[in-house]
Amino acid sequence: MYNFEFERPGSVAEAVAALASEGAQALGGGQTLIPTLKQRLAAPEKLVSLGGIAEMKGVCVNDDGSVSVGGGTPHAEVARAAAAHYPALAALAGGIGDPAVRNRGTIGGSLANNDPSACYPAAALGSGATIVTDRREIAADDYFQGLFTTALEEGEIITGVRFPVPEAANYQKFVQPASRFALVGVFVAKYADGVRVAVTGASEDGVFRWSEAEAALNQSFTPAALTDLAVDPDGMIGDLHGSKPYRAHLVNVMTRRAVQAAS
């Protein structure tokens, strides 16, 4: 690790101010950033911890029925507090990493990082969630822009995420055996105005919506509706843990299983 300054502001406004300085970076739960620092792959001049900002923590149900999760809420808290309101989201959070990771890692950090194998991006995109920042609201459809790339600007903080609650939803994660991130993860959510299917872990471009599956499921929300659909192996990730055709195949299997579990 290289040396850095450290600040732990108590409010979003203070955090934004602290992040305005050159070379400053937000620190969420540190589950991605700290290992990166230890390997000396990043050298921020200042870390601004979001851990002391009470207004960024917790889960609540809004008047319109949607569920809001504070950007600094750890995965374990989402698993517990969202269980009654959005069980599929809670289950996804409860399946991330191990207890240490879930008690430190935050939803804001996960979405800001946008790892192509992370779970939360599938939930946010699959739910048509709104990413709330210190300066604006961003629709999930506009937010994810490829591997480790998002619509966030320099110094912009995810203060919360607003999830419309679907009629039925489920997340199926097929784990990569070493990291136990998603080798392929599929989040399926059925809303009154249509079904959304978001796939993580599989594509070289990061999380994506499988629109053919959505169309088929809008006709019939059954696993059988997906039988003849396939994603193109071109553009899928091929690595030590799974070939491109295998990942393409798993997208179909995991989507069917998610539909089965949701219906």
Partner 1 sequence: MPKDSGIGASSKRREDVRFLTGAGNYTDDINIHGQAYVHFLRSDVAHGRIVSIDTAAASAMPGVVRIFTGADFEGVGGLPCGWQVTDRHGQPMAEPGHPVLAQGKVRHVGDPIAAVVADTAEQARDAAEAIGVEIEELPAVVDMKAALAGDAARVHDDLPSNLCYDWGFVEENKAAVDAAFDTAAHVTTLELVNNRLVANPMEPRVAIGDYARATGESTLYTTSQNPHVIRLLMGAFVLGIPEHKLRVVAPDVGGGFGSKIFHYAEEAFCTFAAKAINRPVKWTSSRSEAFMSDAHGRDHVTRIELALDADNNFTAIRTETLANMGAYLSTFAPSVPTWLHGTLMAGNYKTPLIYVNVKAVFTNTVPVDAYRGAGRPEATFQLERVIDKAARELGVDPIALRRQNFVTEFPYQTPVAVVYDTGDYNATMDKLEEIADIAGFAARRAASEAKGKLRGLGVNCYIEACGIAPSNLVGQLGARAGLYDAATVRVNATGSISVMVGAHSHGQGHETAFPQVVAEMLGIDESMIEIVHGDSSKIPFGMGTYGSRSLAVCGSAMVRATEKIINKAKKIAAHLMEASEADIELKGGQFTVAGTDKSVAWGDVTLAAYVPHNYPLEDIEPGLEETAFYDPSNFTYPAGAYACEVEVDPETGKVTVERFSAADDFGNIVNPMIVSGQVHGGLGQGIGQALLENCAYDPETGQLLSASYMDYAMPRADDVPFYAVDHSCATPCTHNPLGVKGCGEAGAIGSPPAVVNAVIDALQSGGKTVAHIDMPVSPSRVWAAMNG
Ligand X SMILES: Cc1cc2nc3c(=O)[nH]c(=O)nc-3n(C[C@H](O)[C@H](O)[C@H](O)COP(=O)(O)OP(=O)(O)OC[C@H]3O[C@@H](n4cnc5c(N)ncnc54)[C@H](O)[C@@H]3O)c2cc1C
Contact residues toward ligand X (CB under 6 A) are 25-33, 50, 71-72, 96-97, 101, 104-106, 108-110, 112-113, 115, 118-120, 157-158, 180-181
The smaller minimum CB distance to partner 1, of residues 131 and 236, is found at 236
Of residues 22-51, those binding partner 1 (CB under 8 A): 39-40
Distances (CA, A) of 239 to 41, 68, 242, 250: 22, 36, 6, 14
Q: Which does 113 bind (CB under 5 to 8 A by kind): ligand X, partner 1, none?
A: ligand X
8 contact, one of ligand X, partner 1, none, CB 5-8 Å limit per kind: none
- What is the three-class DSSP state of 26? strand
Q: Pick the stretch among 5-13, 24-32, 193-201, 237-245 that binds partner 1 (CB under 8 A).
A: 237-245
Closest of 216, 215, 173, 214 to residue 197, by C-alpha: 214
Q: Which of partner 1, ligand X, none lies near 109, with the C-beta cut-off 5 to 8 A by kind? A: ligand X
CB of 230 to partner 1, least distance (A): 13
CB 158, min distance to ligand X, A = 4
Q: Which stretch binds partner 1 (CB under 8 A): 13-21, 49-57, 142-150, 240-248?
A: 240-248
Q: How far apart are CA 163 and CA 97, in angstroms?
A: 22
Q: Is residue 230 a contact residue for partner 1 (CB under 8 A)?
A: no
**Site for partner 1 contains 179 (CB under 8 A):** yes
- State the nearest-atom distance from the C-beta of 126 to ligand X, in Å: 13
- The span from the CA of 109 to the CA of 30, in Å, is 8
Q: Which is nearer to ligand X, 56 or 225 (CB)?
A: 56
Q: CB neighbours of 10 closer than 8 A, spacing ≥ 6?
A: 52, 53, 54
Q: Is 178 in the site for partner 1 (CB under 8 A)?
A: yes
Pairing of strands 46-49, 5-7: parallel
Q: Cβ distance 186 to 256 under 8 Å? A: no
DSSP type of residue 144: B
In the three-class reduction of DSSP (H, G, I as helix; E, B as strand; rest coil), residue 9 is classed as coil
DSSP string, 211-261: HHHHHHHHH--SGGGGTT----STTB--BTTB-HHHHHHHHHHHHHHHHHH
- Applying CB under 8 A, the site for partner 1 has a residue count of 17
What residues line the site for partner 1 (CB under 8 A)?
Answer: 1, 39-40, 174, 177-179, 183, 240-243, 245-246, 249-250, 253
